[in-house]
């Protein structure tokens, strides 16, 4: 049996760092949404030994060796927790830039767990699969849900939210940024608080309600990311100057930036114009859900 799943890019519309925990992880409060038109693709062929087979797509070379791939890590974490689990051979098409602040590897892991759920007649929110997601990586639990949510703690607390779809342009200079280095630049000691203000939660009111929540938030990783990679600031400025752009910001630990628009038509117009302003960049108009 061949099963298929999309692994949409994760976009941190806000990312508040509240401090650093005693265990070394940073305490986060983030509004997360997922891109409709920017996604990896994953298949699972059941009845075969667990493996990651073909990896193709424009970013296949950067997907990393099998031992580091989060698809296999997630499958093994599920296997450790669920006796008699049906697994198989995964194949991956890598369309999301790597080390880009879009959670590509985590999205792939979340999709792998959803495929495992389908193959075994399990609900995706089965506590054992959720536990496997948390064990795989900090962003995997929210990628298992793969819908707009508030992500808190190191990522283990996920609360879906009702957020109107928002049109966006995603832009990446194809220059990877190290998540570890960006967080380290905050220079927080274990147990040290950074900022007690939580991230705003979207209110009712359609697109304006969603945009209002995002506008009241921020991304605390943006300043150190800009220091490491000036192209981040260039992208934010270019998006912010685009016709119809309501807000421009960085996603995750960078280097992807996004601009938010009233509708997808405006986002597509902006993306076409940005192709000239940002030559060589990866650009995707999309809807964030």
Residue 10 among the catalytic residues:
yes
Q: State the pLDDT confidence band at 120, using cuts at 50, 70 and 90.
A: very high
Query: According to the annotation, is 169 in a ligand binding site?
Result: no
Assign domain 2-160 to a CATH class. alpha beta
The pLDDT tens digits of the residues spanning 203-260 come to: 877 899 999 999 999 999 999 999 999 999 999 999 999 999 999 999 999 999 999 9
Model pLDDT, residue 203: 80
The pLDDT tens digits of the residues spanning 86-108 come to: 999 999 999 999 999 999 999 99
Catalytic residue selected from 68, 139, 195, 208: 139
How many CB atoms within 10 Å of residue 74? 30
Q: State the pLDDT confidence band at 63, using cuts at 50, 70 and 90.
A: confident
Which tokens sit at 285? Answer: 């108009």
Query: According to the annotation, is 267 in a ligand binding site?
Result: no
* SS3 per-residue string spanning the chain: CEEEEEEEEEEECCEEEEEECCCCCEEEEEEEEEEEEEEEEEEEEECCCCEEEEEECCCHHHCCCHHHCHHHHHHHHHHHHCCCCCCEEEEEECCCCCCCCCCHHHHHHHHHHHHHHHHCCCCCCCHHHHHHHHHHCCCHHHHHHCCCEEEEECCCEEEECCCCCEEEEEEECCCCCCHHHHHHCCCCCCCCECCCCCCCCCCCCHHHHHHHHHHHCCECCHHHHHHHCCHHHHHHHHHHCCCCCCEEEECCCCCCEEEEECCHHHHHHHHHHHHHHCCCCEEEEEEEC
- Is residue 182 a contact partner of residue 253, using CB atoms and an 8 Å limit? yes
Average pLDDT of span 43-47 = 96
Assign domain 166-288 to a CATH class. alpha beta
Model pLDDT, residue 67: 65
Model pLDDT, residue 82: 98
The pLDDT tens digits of the residues spanning 261-273 come to: 999 999 999 999 9
pTM for the model? 0.96
Query: According to the annotation, is 133 in a ligand binding site?
Result: no
Q: Per-domain residue ranges for the chain?
A: 2-160, 166-288
Query: According to the annotation, is 110 in a ligand binding site?
Result: no
277 pLDDT higher than 70: yes
Query: According to the annotation, is 279 in a ligand binding site?
Result: no
Model pLDDT, residue 197: 85
Average pLDDT of span 54-82 = 90
Query: According to the annotation, is 99 in a ligand binding site?
Result: yes
Catalytic residue selected from 10, 29, 73, 94: 10
Q: Which of 121-125, 200-204, 266-270 has the lowest mean pLDDT?
A: 200-204
Residue 208 among the catalytic residues:
no
Query: According to the annotation, is 102 in a ligand binding site?
Result: yes
Query: According to the annotation, is 19 in a ligand binding site?
Result: no
């Amino acid at each position: 049996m061949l099963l298929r799943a999309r692994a949409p890019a994760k976009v941190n519309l806000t990312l508040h760092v509240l401090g650093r925990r005693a265990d070394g992880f940073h305490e986060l409060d983030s509004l997360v949404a997922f891109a409709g038109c920017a996604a990896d693709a994953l298949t699972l062929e059941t009845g075969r030994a667990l493996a990651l087979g073909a990896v193709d797509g424009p970013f296949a070379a950067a997907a990393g060796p099998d031992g580091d791939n989060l698809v296999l890590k997630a499958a093994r974490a599920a296997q450790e927790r669920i006796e008699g689990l049906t697994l198989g051979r995964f194949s991956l098409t890598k369309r999301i830039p790597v080390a880009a602040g879009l959670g590509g590897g985590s999205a792939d892991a979340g999709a792998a767990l959803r495929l495992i759920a389908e193959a075994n007649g399990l609900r995706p929110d089965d506590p054992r699969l959720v536990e496997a997601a948390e064990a795989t990586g900090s962003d995997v639990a929210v990628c298992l849900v793969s819908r707009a949510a508030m992500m808190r703690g190191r990522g283990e607390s996920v609360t879906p939210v009702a957020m109107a779809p928002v049109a966006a342009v995603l832009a990446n200079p194809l220059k990877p940024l190290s998540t570890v280095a960006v967080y380290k630049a905050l220079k927080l000691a274990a147990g040290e608080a950074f900022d007690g203000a939580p991230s705003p939660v979207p209110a009712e009111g359609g697109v304006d309600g969603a945009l209002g929540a995002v506008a009241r938030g921020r991304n605390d990783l943006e300043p150190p990311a800009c220091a490491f990679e000036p192209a981040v600031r260039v992208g934010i400025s270019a998006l912010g100057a685009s016709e119809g752009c309501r807000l421009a910001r960085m996603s995750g630990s960078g280097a992807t930036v996004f601009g938010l628009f009233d509708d997808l038509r405006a986002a597509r117009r902006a993306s076409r114009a940005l192709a000239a302003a940002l030559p060589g960049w990866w650009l995707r108009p999309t809807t964030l859900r």
